[in-house]
Each structure stands twice: as C-alpha cells, then as structure tokens.
C-alpha cells in the first residue's frame, strides 16, 4: 500500500509522512490552508509556495518547507509532487509514487477555473483518494459569469432601494473569489476583519483583489450607502451586522443549490458558488485520473461509492475528519 488510513490520518509508510493529518505528527504534507486540513501541532510541514503564506498566517510559527506545483521531491523511498486542485489559491492534490505505483490524494478540489486559483489539472494514477462533498446528481454549478451577474444585479437593486448588501462567504478563498466577481462601479465594498485578514495575506503575495474597506469599530456605515459587505457567514444576523441598517442578506455556497437549506439559513438570497467539484466535475475528474481504485472521503460517501461501484470502479469509503463545505456552518470549509 502506497498510502494507509490511520487514526492520525492518511499515512505513507515508505516516506514516513502524513497528508493533512488530524493529530500532531512529525511530518505533514498539507494540501491547502483550510482549518480541517492544515492543523496546528506538527513538527514539520510541507506545502506549495502559494499556499504557504495563508498557512503561516493561520498557524503562526511553524517549520514549513515549500514546493512549487509539479516539482518532484523524494522523501525516503517515496517520490511526492503537488498538483493544482483549483480549490483555493495554492491548493494541491498530492501525488505519491512508491516503486512505480502512483496514488493521488485530491484534498478539496474544483475543476472549473476561477480568477485566483491555479486551474485544476488531472493527474494519472492507480489509486485516487477523492473528496465527494457534493457527490449527488442534484449538485450542478452554473458558470461563474452567470453567478457574477446575479450577485451584481442583487447588489445594484439593493443599492437602488437604499439597502446594504450583506454577503456571507467563507473568509478564506470563497470571499476572495466573490471579490473577483464584484463590479466595483456599483458601490463601495466593505469587509469584515476575518475576510480582510485573508485579503491582506493574498495581496502581499501578489494576488490581485479589488479595493476594500475594512469595517472597524470606528467605521460609520452611513458614509458608505449602498455598500456590499463581505463577511463570514456567522457574522450575518449578528449584532455586528446590525450596524448596516436596512439590508438584504445572502450566502455564497454550493449548498444554496438546495432551497430548503437556503430557507433554513433565513437569507434573502443564495448564490450557488462552491469551491468544490459538482457532480459532473467529480465524475469527470475521477475518470481522467485513469484510476481503478477510488477511495471516497468526506461528503455523501456511501451513495457516491455505490454509484462508482456500479460504474465499474473499485470504490471504497474512507472515514475522515475532514468536513468540506458543511451544510449548517458555512465557516468550516
């Protein structure tokens, strides 16, 4: 076995390292900076150079070595390389080769391109460990252009009616992708601190984002009529959000595809925007790896594994502590 599944996480015996481990280990290869994948407490970290600033920002003083996409590195008798996963800037699939056998850990991935992340690239392998957060045929994403128009129209309408537009999105990745879709001609863009912190890190590493105004206790919302306010989903409906007065609320998440979820979150609008692959995306990505053995991790694993099984794959469910883009707490992704 190139990789095994242990209580600490995915482990490579030949290289003596873990991929996105859940408990402190000596050597951790990290696919991306989301908190269910990049956890504190490991002795040594390895990530892509693009993902590194965020991981450092979140985990503080850690021993972090970086690697560029597609660069090969030998760790003991294993050869590893990181390949674009298209999930958030710097996110990677990790390819591990031991004695000619290739396994790939997908991490979280999205196959359609966006303005910030390096586009997903399929990697040929024998075994593919895939997430399936949205592994049901009801999940199909529209093109970013369509969502872009929806969001800007909503914002412009709100502005015309004298309301602020409060948009909840996960502060790492999703929020910046939304920023790239906004039309700054409509009005000012305000940001919650959690979003702005990530913006600063990304701007410092050379990614282009539109101008934003950080909301501080001294900010007077009246000075920014018709603003779009970008905040973590948990901030919507809070006392923090009340300062903006008359407002329309919305969430940007793949779960907004389901009307019931959107209604439960009691938002006025839901924009279907996910950093994960949709049903067709998952199926195409898996087909393109050429792998026969598929391990499915977080998401609708039992249903998706059965589907893959019927399609002729040797599919197996791997229990994980990854959470993906969760349904009721949009803040862990």
Contact residues toward other proteins (CB under 8 A) are 136-140, 248, 257-261, 263-264, 266-269, 300, 303, 306-307, 310, 327-328
How far apart are CB 290 and other proteins at their closest, in Å?
22
Residue 89 vs 232, nearer CB to other proteins: 232
Other Cβ atoms within 10 Å of 302 Cβ, number: 11
Residue 202 vs 231, nearer CB to other proteins: 231
Residue 243 vs 269, nearer CB to other proteins: 269
* Residues whose CB is less than 8 angstroms from the CB of residue 98 and which lie 6 or more positions away in sequence, other chains included: 2, 12, 14, 15, 77, 78, 79
How far apart are CB 329 and other proteins at their closest, in Å?
8
How far apart are CB 105 and other proteins at their closest, in Å?
24
CA dihedral 212, 218, 222, 227 (to 10 degrees): 20
String of b and e for 30-61 (b: at least 16 CB within 10 Å)? bbbbbebbbbeebeebbbbebbbbbbbbbbee
Residue 81 vs 233, nearer CB to other proteins: 233
Burial class (CB in 10 A: 0-12, 13-18, 19+), 332: middle
Residue 99 vs 266, nearer CB to other proteins: 266
How far apart are CB 164 and other proteins at their closest, in Å?
14
| Angle ∠(86,90,55) on CA atoms, nearest 5 | 135
How far apart are CB 327 and other proteins at their closest, in Å?
6
Residue 137 vs 290, nearer CB to other proteins: 137
Is the distance from CB of 214 to CB of 193 less than 8 angstroms? Answer: yes
How far apart are CB 261 and other proteins at their closest, in Å?
7
* Residues whose CB is less than 8 angstroms from the CB of residue 19 and which lie 6 or more positions away in sequence, other chains included: 3, 9, 10, 11, 12, 28, 29, 30, 31, 94, 96, 105
How far apart are CB 262 and other proteins at their closest, in Å?
9
Residue 121 vs 268, nearer CB to other proteins: 268
- Round to whole Å and give the CA distance between 174 and 194: 12
Helix ranges, the chain (H)? 52-59, 144-160, 174-181, 193-204, 239-242, 259-264, 279-289, 301-310
How far apart are CB 305 and other proteins at their closest, in Å?
12
204 alpha carbon, distance to own chain's centre: 20
Residue 196 vs 333, nearer CB to other proteins: 333
Distances (CA, A) of 321 to 16, 180, 303: 20, 31, 18
């Amino acid at each position: 076995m190139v990789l095994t599944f242990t209580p600490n996480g995915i482990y490579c015996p030949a290289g003596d390292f873990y991929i996105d481990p859940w408990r402190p280990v000596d050597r951790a290869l990290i696919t991306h900076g989301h908190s269910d994948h990049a956890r504190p407490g490991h002795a040594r970290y390895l990530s892509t150079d693009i993902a590194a600033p965020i991981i450092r920002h979140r985990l503080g003083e850690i021993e972090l070595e970086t690697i560029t996409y597609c660069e090969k590195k030998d760790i003991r008798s294993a050869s590893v390389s990181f390949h674009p996963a298209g999930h958030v800037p710097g996110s990677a699939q990790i390819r591990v080769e031991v004695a000619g056998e290739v396994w790939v850990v997908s991490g979280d991935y999205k196959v359609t391109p966006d303005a910030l992340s390096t586009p997903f690239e399929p990697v040929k392998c024998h075994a593919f460990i895939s997430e399936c957060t949205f592994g049901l045929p009801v999940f199909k994403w529209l093109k970013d252009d369509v969502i872009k128009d929806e969001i800007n129209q909503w914002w412009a309408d709100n502005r015309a009616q004298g309301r602020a537009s409060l948009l909840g999105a996960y502060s790492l990745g999703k929020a910046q992708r939304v920023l790239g879709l906004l039309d700054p001609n409509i009005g000012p863009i305000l940001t919650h601190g959690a979003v702005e912190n990530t913006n600063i890190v990304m701007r410092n590493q050379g990614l282009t984002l539109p101008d934003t105004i950080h909301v501080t206790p001294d900010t007077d919302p009246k000075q920014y009529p018709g603003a779009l306010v970008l905040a973590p989903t948990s901030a919507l409906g809070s006392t923090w959000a009340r300062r903006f007065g008359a407002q329309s609320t919305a969430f940007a998440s793949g779960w907004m595809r389901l009307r019931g979820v959107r209604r439960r979150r009691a938002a006025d609008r839901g924009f279907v925007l996910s950093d994960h692959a949709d049903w067709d995306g998952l199926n195409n990505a898996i087909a393109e790896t050429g792998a026969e053995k598929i391990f499915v991790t977080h998401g609708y694993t039992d249903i998706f594994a059965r589907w893959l099984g019927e399609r002729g794959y040797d599919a197996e469910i791997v229990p994980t502590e990854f959470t993906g883009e969760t349904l009721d707490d949009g803040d862990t992704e």
